[in-house]
Amino acid sequence: MESEKSMPLFETKKARGRVLHRLFAGTLFMGVCFIWAYRFGNIPREGEDGRWVWIGLLGAELWFGLYWVLTQALRWNQVYRCTFKDRLYHRYAEEDLPGIDIFVCTADSTVEPPIMVINTVFSVMAYDYPAKKLSVYLSDDGGSNLTFYALLEASNFARYWIPYCKKFKVEPRSPAAYFASGSNPNHYGETTVIKKLYQEMEDRIVTATKLGRILEEARLKHRGFSQWDSYSSRHDHDTILQILIDGKDPNATDIDGGALPTLVYLAREKRPQHPHNFKAGAMNALIRVSSNISNGQIILNLDCDMYSNNSLCIWDALCFFMDKENGHDIAFVQFPQGFENMTKNDIYGSSFIVISNVEFHGVDGFGGPLYIGSGCFHRRDVLCGRKFTKDFKFQWKKDDDNKIQKTMQELEEETKPLASCTYEQNTEWGNEIGLKYGCLVEDVITGLLTQCKGWKSVYLNPERKAFLGVAPITLSQTLVQQKRWSEGHLQILLSKYSPAWYAHAKISLGLQLGYICYNIWSVNCLATLYYSIIPSLYLLKGISLYPQVSDPWFWSFAYVISAKYIYCLVEFLCSGGTILGWWNEQRIWLYKRTTSYLFALIDTILKTLKFTNVTFSITAKVADEDVSQRYEKEIMDFGASSPMFTILATLAMLNLFCFAGVVKKVIMDENFRLYEEMFLQLLLCGALVLINLPLYQGLFLRKDKGKVPSSITIKSFLLALLACTSFTFLY
Ligand SMILES: *[C@@H]1O[C@H](CO)[C@@H](O)[C@H](O)[C@H]1NC(C)=O
Ligand SMILES: CC(=O)N[C@H]1CO[C@H](CO)[C@@H](O)[C@@H]1O
């Protein structure tokens, strides 16, 4: 039994086939070097035609090649983790397990409906973990009494739901997902009862949400609502804190007399004159408030739309933190974000299967994944700024029972000041302590700083997804989300804590490159825009910019293009995608780069020059019927008047004109040896036309609400026409 006690709780395996992969990458890199040599060696001399175009191409190809090298850092050293939950399960007595505080963040009750939020709350309250050790905190930055009302209803329904889940080993434990999954259990009678209870509660909450207010009789039932008496708006109110279930109270039990986890509602104080620092501010308030109530040593952070699909995933995370040999330097355990609303071919590329199934395993091999916000377990101490020391060993604290004396009201009043606007003044909160402020991707920069201090992180990607969220279901949502991420990443690169210099020698080179690879997403827009405009225009004009098929240099292009795309396709398929899904991903790749990244880059430049301020937009989580239907049928949604769409449509139109112009020339002039002379340019333009097919449909053929608005159609038509004609006639 002695050996059983010391067996490791997790295992790390290296990916197979790395030697082969490295060889392959080597040959591809040679190809890239040949392309560079060709471009470099053939620059037209000063004064000659086309010198600048050529230099532009050289620049773009240098960028693509170097970026590809960076992406290799994400593939070089992949590792896979697996855990031994059974060993952990048998090793510790219940009272020796650490407390877990779960933070769910919501920001706006209109885009994040309360019923969805409480389903996330249920999925974590019902975790298979001693209830006394579990506390769930909901941070409501919308300060909405509707959300509070929903949570109040939830605190009641939990008394039925939790014992039901435990008794019948229900999975998943979000009631909405469970009932929707239609799994037909044999305990039919009890299921009918609980389903009815749930539906009644859902009705009440949805009705209240629709009305926008809470019925008087419900309001009178709970003292908590009185906290809204002094409320003037979501940007201006006192701290609202309510312990809805106190897990330490022996009277707080479910219908079978079992213990319940603590459940807390928090809307931190907001004042217009105090910056609230968005989600990072909310998280930091939660860290302090929870420290005074349950003070769990492990913190799980979840977005409100991301329910837990595995009631045992706490144990997975603890396997890392509690491993005696290798667990002491692990600061956080990141799970991938899975999505519930995925269609088969993922038209908006929002499942990120290559990032979650390949790249994050790669960064894990170099010291740990990025902290990406949701689905991440942290050590509280580290989040609160503990410095890394090599031989330090974490001790698992026993409960401190001194809080038990206080009444709930006393505890609430004593805790409220911790969530006030002024608490953080002249402290290190938002800097050395807690999540960092001032960045659009506050989670990533916080994770980076943690790693720079010497801590490691771990990426656990089990077959069955532990957390499932809602992916954007329109193109504009997708592009806006991408803009925010890529802009935040660029901010990190330009910040004091840049992976390029600050992190040097603090984290491994591989991890540094991995971070940079994400950080410079937005800069990709320049080369991509150049490549999707210039070669096509020159094709129309009949000027060749690439080697002819008979030229030996042609083969370096041919090899790099085909090897890169075949590899990329295989990688996508191995990550669980479909061929059509890959094709869709290529389209989104192009759209992201020509719009989201471009806007992110421009915004960053403007902000650096101090022209504008940080803005933060949340992507809507609810959609009208129409939009959902198109999404489920995998029809792209262009139905918004966004400057992003004008760019996309103009580029698509421009390539269509160039392609059509060339086809016309070929038909009229039989001697025109186009394939031979301009094969690569034709291929590029043809590929751009092919990939844009759904957009042409949206421009010219579709009649539904998701088509491109006619104002954009006209604008982009004129712009593209102007570009093509002025180029052919004037230039
Ligand atoms: C979610 O959990 C269920 C089991 O309850 C499992 O069948 C399903 O595959 C999981 N979903 C994902 C996306 O992993
Ligand atoms: C917001 C949204 O589109 N939700 C959908 C997610 O997927 C489920 C099942 O396919 C639908 O029922 C939801 O309407």
* pLDDT given at position 219: 87
* pLDDT given at position 316: 96
- Per-residue CA distances from 452 to 101, 237, 331, 506 (Å): 25, 37, 11, 5
Residue whose C-alpha is closest to residue 359's, from 565, 570, 575, 590: 575
* pLDDT given at position 620: 53
* pLDDT given at position 143: 93
Report which protein residue has its CA nearest ligand 2's atom 4.
Answer: 341
255-270, pLDDT tens digit by residue? 999 999 999 999 999 9
One of 246, 443, 603, 637 is an active-site residue; which one? 443
Cα(112) to centroid(ligand 2), Å: 14
Ligand 1: nearest atom to the Cα of 468: 13
Pick the ligand that lies closest to the CA of residue 341. Answer: 2
393-425, pLDDT tens digit by residue? 888 876 655 555 678 888 999 999 999 999 999
* pLDDT given at position 614: 54
Pick the ligand that lies closest to the CA of residue 336. Answer: 1
Answer yes or no: 101 catalytic.
no
Which of 168, 309, 344 gets mutated to test ligand 1 (max ligand atoms within 8 A of its CB)? Answer: 309
Q: Is the pLDDT of residue 229 over 70?
A: yes
What is the pTM for the complete model shown?
A: 0.93
Cis before residue 172, ω within 30 degrees of 0?
A: yes
Cα(76) to centroid(ligand 1), Å: 30
Cα(328) to centroid(ligand 1), Å: 31
* pLDDT given at position 609: 84
Answer yes or no: 141 catalytic.
yes
Banded pLDDT at 577 (limits 50, 70, 90): very high
- Is the CB–ligand 2 distance for residue 477 below 6 Å? no
* pLDDT given at position 56: 96
Banded pLDDT at 623 (limits 50, 70, 90): low
Share of the chain above pLDDT 90, in %: 75
Q: Provide the 3-class DSSP secondary structure of residue 373.
A: coil
96-118, pLDDT tens digit by residue? 999 999 999 999 998 899 999 99
650-704, pLDDT tens digit by residue? 999 999 999 999 988 888 876 667 777 889 999 999 999 999 999 999 999 999 8
* pLDDT given at position 49: 80
Report which protein residue has its CA nearest ligand 1's atom 8.
Answer: 464
Contacts of 316 (CB under 8 A, 6+ apart): 83, 85, 310, 333, 460, 462, 466
Cα(218) to centroid(ligand 2), Å: 30
- Is the CB–ligand 1 distance for residue 338 below 6 Å? yes
Report which protein residue has its CA nearest ligand 1's atom 5.
Answer: 171
523-572, pLDDT tens digit by residue? 999 999 999 999 999 999 888 999 999 999 999 999 999 999 999 999 99
- Residue 721: count of CB within 10 angstroms of its CB: 14
- Greater model confidence, 633 or 620: 633
Ligand 1: nearest atom to the Cα of 465: 14
Residues forming beta bridges with residue 241, ordered by sequence position: 266
433 φ, ψ (degrees, to nearest 5): -115, 135
Helix (H) or strand (E) holding 483: helix 475-494
One of 101, 108, 140, 141 is an active-site residue; which one? 141
Average pLDDT over the chain, rounded to whole? Answer: 91
Pick the ligand that lies closest to the CA of residue 171. Answer: 1
Give the CA dihedral 356, 358, 360, 361, nearest 10 degrees.
120
Distance CA 144, CA 234 (A): 7
- Please give the single-letter amino acid code of residue 4: E
Cα(111) to centroid(ligand 2), Å: 15
Contacts of 242 (CB under 8 A, 6+ apart): 148, 224, 227, 264, 265, 266, 412
8-47, pLDDT tens digit by residue? 999 999 998 889 999 999 999 999 999 999 999 999 988 7
Cα(473) to centroid(ligand 2), Å: 10
